[in-house]
């Protein structure tokens, strides 16, 4: 199982494979893919501020159908409790997405340098 950060989900939807490393592409092809529900919210936020042109529901539903993307079902209160300990970032999206992966003892595919520096199972 591998968690995907928001930008990885958007780039998969856009079929923008050149952005991924070979290791990242390989793991996407062979691992179960999962996202925090926070990824859905962040994608919708990016749509609302005109950074992307599709709504979250379109992107997530498409990837659920095409690549069997799944949502993590860890209770939100457990995720928030863990995210509150992540003082290394002020970004609430990053805190919750990373906490969700951590609670599942899962790798997190991200290009975010701060996450890569602080979460030992993060890679790009």
What is the full per-residue pLDDT of the chain (124 aa) written as tens digits? 999 999 999 999 999 989 999 999 999 999 999 999 999 999 999 999 999 999 999 999 999 999 999 999 999 999 999 999 999 999 999 999 999 999 999 999 999 999 999 999 999 9
Residue with tokens 């591998």: 2
Check residue 30 and give its pLDDT.
93
| CATH code of the domain in which 51 resides | 3.40.50.1010
Residue 123 pairs with which residues in a beta bridge?
109
Residues 6+ positions from 104 with CB-CB distance below 8 Å: 1, 3, 34, 72, 74
Structural domain count of the chain: 1
Give the CA distances from residue 91 to residues 3, 20, 109, in Å, rounded to whole numbers and listed in that order. Answer: 18, 23, 17
pTM: 0.95
- Domain encompassing residue 71: 2-123
Residue with tokens 């390989």: 26
120: three-class secondary structure by DSSP? coil
């Amino acid at each position: 199982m591998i968690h995907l950060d928001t930008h990885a989900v958007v780039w998969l939807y856009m079929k923008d494979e050149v952005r991924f490393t070979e290791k990242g592409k390989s793991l996407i092809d062979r691992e179960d893919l999962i996202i925090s529900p926070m990824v859905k919210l962040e994608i919708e936020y990016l749509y609302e501020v005109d950074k992307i042109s599709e709504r979250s529901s379109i992107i997530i539903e498409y990837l659920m159908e095409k690549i069997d993307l799944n949502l993590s079902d860890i209770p939100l209160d457990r995720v928030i409790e863990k995210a509150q300990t992540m003082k290394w970032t002020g970004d609430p999206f990053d805190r919750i997405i990373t906490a969700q992966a951590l609670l599942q003892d899962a790798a997190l595919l991200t290009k975010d340098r701060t996450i890569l520096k602080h979460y030992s199972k993060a890679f790009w």
